[in-house]
C-alpha cells in the first residue's frame, strides 16, 4: 500500500472502508508494516510493546462505524482482553485483563481495530517514557530525543503513521506534553467526560482518558466517540455529549485569554515567538486577545507532587504479589509483599509511593496533604474567575521547550517541571488541547488551549481555526 493511504485521516480511512473502497485488512497490513519498519534496528521507535498478529480474531472490525477498520494504538495502562496490560512495569509482566476498558470498547464499537499496546512511563509516572520497564520510546522527529510522556509510545505511534488515532491517559499532562513533542494533537477532556473504567488508576482525582490524533478533526472525532456517562465509573459525568467536530470557522466574538504566568521572562525566546505567531493567527480569525492572570500558578507543581503521589500510594497498594502479575517467593506473606514490590517497581514509582505515604502519614497529613487540597481549590478558582470575566478560552505554550534528548534530564524535579503548563488543567478538572504551532530547530512546538469544564466545543472551535490559520506554518 502506498504511503499516502496511511497518511489519510482516521475519518477518511473509516469512510473508505465503510464505502467498500478499501478493505479493512489492507489498513491493518499497512499499519503493521509501518510498525515493523519503524521499530527495526537499535534506534527503533519502541512505541508499541505488545502487538496483534494478522490472524488474531480481534483484528476484524466489530462494526462499520465512523472508525471502520481504522488502526488504533492503546496505551498499556488500559485493560484490553486479548493483549497484555502491563503499565510499562515488571510487576504486571504477562498480565492479561479479564475485562475491557470502556474507552477501548467504544472505539472498537465504532469499528476501530486495536493494533497494539503503546509504551509508557511505568504506571504513567514520568514525562519521557524513560521510566518504562521496556526501555524508552524514541521521538520520530529525532530518534535521539524523547517523545515525551508518560503516553510517549502512543504519541510516537501516531506521529510515525502507525495509527491515525491512539489512546493515552493524563494525570498531569501525559497526553498534551507528548503531543507537543511529537508534533501531533492531544486532548485532555473535562474530568468525568470519559469513563475511566478499565484505566489502571494512578491518581484517581486527576486521571483522565485522553486521545491523540494527527489533526484536530481526528482528535475531536476520537473524543466524541469515547465520551459519555458510564455506570461502571462513579466519577463519570451525566452530562450529554455535545458535537465536538465543529470544524473551522471565524472566531468573531471569541475572547482568548493569555495568562501572564505562562510566559515568564525565562521562557525560551523561540517558543515565545512561535506562540506570538499563533496569537496573531487567532486575532486574524477575529478573536480578541486579552492578557489575564492566574495568580496561583506557581504552586501547581508542588501541589500536584503532593496530591498525585498521595493517591498513587493508595492505588498501587493492590500490586502485592497476590492479585496480579509477578510474585517473589519469600518467608511469610509480609516478606513476599516486600520482595515482590521491591523487585517489581522501578525507581520513580518507588519514589512516588514513599512520597505519597509520607504526606498522608499521621502528623504530616495536615501540613502537606490538606494544605495541598486547599491550594488546589485556589488554582481551580483562578480558572473559574477568569472564565467568569468574559474569557472563553486560554492560550499558552504546552511545554517550556521542545523535545529534550533521551538521558538529558536525570534530576527528578527538573523532569517534573516539564509539566508546568499542563498540570493546572488536571488540578482544575478543565479540558485542554495541544496542537502543533511551529518548529524550533526543526523540532515541533505545541500550543495549548484551555476551556471551562464541559465546554469542549469552544475549545475545539478555537483549535480548528488555529490549525486552519497556521496551515503548513504549524509544521515548518
Ligand atoms: N509527568 C507527570 C507525572 O510524572 C504527569 C504524568 C501523567 O499525566 N500521567 O506525574
The answer to whether 119 and 47 are in contact (CB under 8 A) is yes
Cell numbers at residue 123, please? 504506571
**0.85 exceeded by pTM:** yes
The answer to whether 155 and 419 are in contact (CB under 8 A) is no
Residue 190 belongs to a domain: yes
Whether 209 is in the pocket of ligand 1, judged by its Cβ within 6 Å, is: no
The answer to whether 129 and 146 are in contact (CB under 8 A) is yes
CA–CA gap between residue 361 and residue 341 (Å, rounded): 20
Per-residue pLDDT reduced to its tens digit, 142-156 = 999 999 999 999 999
Nearest atom in ligand 1 to the alpha carbon of residue 169 is 9
Cell numbers at residue 411, please? 534530576
pLDDT attached to residue 127: 97
Residue 366 belongs to a domain: no
Domain extent at residue 172: 3-250
Long-range contacts of 100-103 (CB under 8 A, 24+ apart): 100/198, 101/197, 101/198, 101/199, 101/209, 102/195, 102/197, 102/198, 102/226, 102/230, 102/232, 102/233, 103/78, 103/167, 103/194, 103/195, 103/198, 103/199, 103/209, 103/226
Which residue in the list 75, 106, 117, 188 is annotated as catalytic?
75
Ligand 1 center from residue 365 Cα (angstroms): 22
Whether 174 is in the pocket of ligand 1, judged by its Cβ within 6 Å, is: yes
Q: Can you give the CATH number for the domain in which 104 is found?
A: 3.90.1300.10
pLDDT attached to residue 3: 56
Residue 214 belongs to a domain: yes
Residue 278 belongs to a domain: no
Nearest atom in ligand 1 to the alpha carbon of residue 175 is 8
pLDDT attached to residue 472: 79
Whether 126 is in the pocket of ligand 1, judged by its Cβ within 6 Å, is: yes
CA–CA gap between residue 91 and residue 340 (Å, rounded): 8
3-class SS shares of the chain: helix, strand, coil, % to 5: 40, 15, 45
Which residue in the list 89, 97, 174, 418 is annotated as catalytic?
174
DSSP assignment of 34-90 equals HHHHHH-STT----EEEE--TT-GGGS-S--STTTT-EEEEETTB--SSS---TT-G
Whether 124 is in the pocket of ligand 1, judged by its Cβ within 6 Å, is: yes
Which residue in the list 89, 132, 137, 150 is annotated as catalytic?
150
Question: H helices of 140-207, where?
Answer: 152-159, 176-182
Residue 184 belongs to a domain: yes
Q: How many folded domains does the chain comprise?
A: 1
Residue 122 belongs to a domain: yes
Ligand 1 center from residue 299 Cα (angstroms): 16
pLDDT attached to residue 474: 82
pLDDT attached to residue 37: 97
Residue 19 belongs to a domain: yes
Residue 158 belongs to a domain: yes
pLDDT attached to residue 476: 63
Nearest atom in ligand 1 to the alpha carbon of residue 173 is 8
Cell numbers at residue 421, please? 503548563
Whether 173 is in the pocket of ligand 1, judged by its Cβ within 6 Å, is: yes
pLDDT under 70: residue ranges of the chain: 1-4, 476
Ligand 1 center from residue 19 Cα (angstroms): 41
pLDDT attached to residue 77: 98
Ligand 1 center from residue 193 Cα (angstroms): 19
Q: Is residue 174 annotated as part of the catalytic site, yes or no?
A: yes
Q: Is residue 266 annotated as part of the catalytic site, yes or no?
A: no
Give the DSSP letter of residue 369.
I
Amino acid at each position: 500500500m502506498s504511503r499516502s493511504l496511511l497518511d489519510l485521516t482516521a475519518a477518511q480511512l473509516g469512510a473508505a472502508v465503510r464505502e467498500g473502497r478499501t478493505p479493512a485488512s489492507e489498513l491493518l497490513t499497512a499499519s503493521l508494516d509501518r510498525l515493523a519498519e519503524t521499530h527495526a534496528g537499535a534506534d527503533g521507535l519502541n512505541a508499541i510493546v505488545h502487538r496483534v498478529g494478522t490472524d488474531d480474531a480481534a483484528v476484524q472490525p466489530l462494526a462499520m462505524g465512523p472508525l471502520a477498520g481504522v488502526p488504533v494504538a492503546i496505551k498499556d495502562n488500559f485493560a484490553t482482553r486479548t493483549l497484555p496490560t502491563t503499565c510499562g512495569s515488571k510487576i504486571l509482566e504477562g498480565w492479561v485483563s479479564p475485562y475491557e476498558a470502556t474507552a477501548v470498547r467504544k472505539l472498537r464499537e465504532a469499528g476501530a481495530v486495536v493494533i497494539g499496546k503503546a509504551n509508557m512511563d511505568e504506571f504513567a509516572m514520568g514525562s519521557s517514557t524513560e521510566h518504562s520497564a521496556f526501555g524508552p520510546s524514541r521521538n520520530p522527529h529525532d530518534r535521539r530525543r524523547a517523545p515525551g510522556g508518560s503516553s510517549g509510545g502512543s504519541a510516537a505511534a501516531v506521529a510515525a503513521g502507525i495509527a491515525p488515532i491512539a489512546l493515552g491517559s493524563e494525570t498531569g499532562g501525559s497526553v498534551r506534553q507528548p503531543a507537543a513533542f511529537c508534533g501531533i494533537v492531544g486532548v485532555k477532556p473535562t474530568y468525568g467526560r470519559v469513563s475511566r473504567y478499565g484505566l489502571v488508576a494512578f491518581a484517581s482525582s486527576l486521571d483522565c482518558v485522553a486521545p491523540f490524533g494527527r489533526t484536530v478533526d481526528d482528535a475531536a472525532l476520537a473524543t466524541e466517540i469515547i465520551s459519555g456517562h458510564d455506570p461502571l465509573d462513579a466519577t463519570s459525568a451525566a452530562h450529554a455529549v455535545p458535537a465536538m467536530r465543529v470544524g473551522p470557522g471565524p472566531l468573531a466574538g471569541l475572547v482568548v485569554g493569555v495568562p501572564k504566568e505562562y510566559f515568564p521572562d525565562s521562557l525560551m525566546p523561540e517558543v515565545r515567538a512561535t506562540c506570538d505567531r499563533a496569537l496573531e493567527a487567532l486575532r486574524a480569525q477575529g478573536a480578541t486577545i486579552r492578557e489575564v492572570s492566574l495568580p496561583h500558578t506557581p504552586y501547581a507543581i508542588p501541589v500536584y507532587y503532593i496530591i498525585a503521589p498521595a493517591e498513587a500510594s493508595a492505588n498501587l497498594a493492590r500490586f502485592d504479589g497476590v492479585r496480579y502479575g509477578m510474585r517473589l517467593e519469600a518467608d511469610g506473606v509480609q516478606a513476599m509483599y516486600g520482595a515482590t514490590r521491591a523487585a517489581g517497581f522501578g525507581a520513580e514509582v518507588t519514589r512516588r509511593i514513599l512520597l505519597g505515604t509520607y504526606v498522608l502519614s499521621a502528623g504530616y497529613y495536615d501540613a502537606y496533604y490538606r494544605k495541598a487540597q486547599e491550594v488546589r481549590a485556589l488554582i481551580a478558582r483562578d480558572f473559574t474567575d477568569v472564565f467568569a470575566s468574559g474569557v472563553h478560552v486560554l492560550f499558552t505554550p504546552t511545554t517550556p521547550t521542545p523535545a529534550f534528548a533521551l538521558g538529558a534530564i536525570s534530576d527528578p524535579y527538573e523532569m517534573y517541571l516539564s509539566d508546568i503548563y499542563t498540570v493546572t488543567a488536571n488540578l482544575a478538572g478543565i479540558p485542554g488541547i495541544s496542537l502543533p504551532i511551529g518548529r524550533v530547530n526543526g523540532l515541533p512546538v505545541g500550543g495549548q488551549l484551555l476551556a471551562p469544564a464541559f465546554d469542549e466545543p469552544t475549545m475545539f472551535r478555537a483549535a480548528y481555526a488555529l490549525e486552519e490559520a497556521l496551515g503548513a506554518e504549524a509544521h515548518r
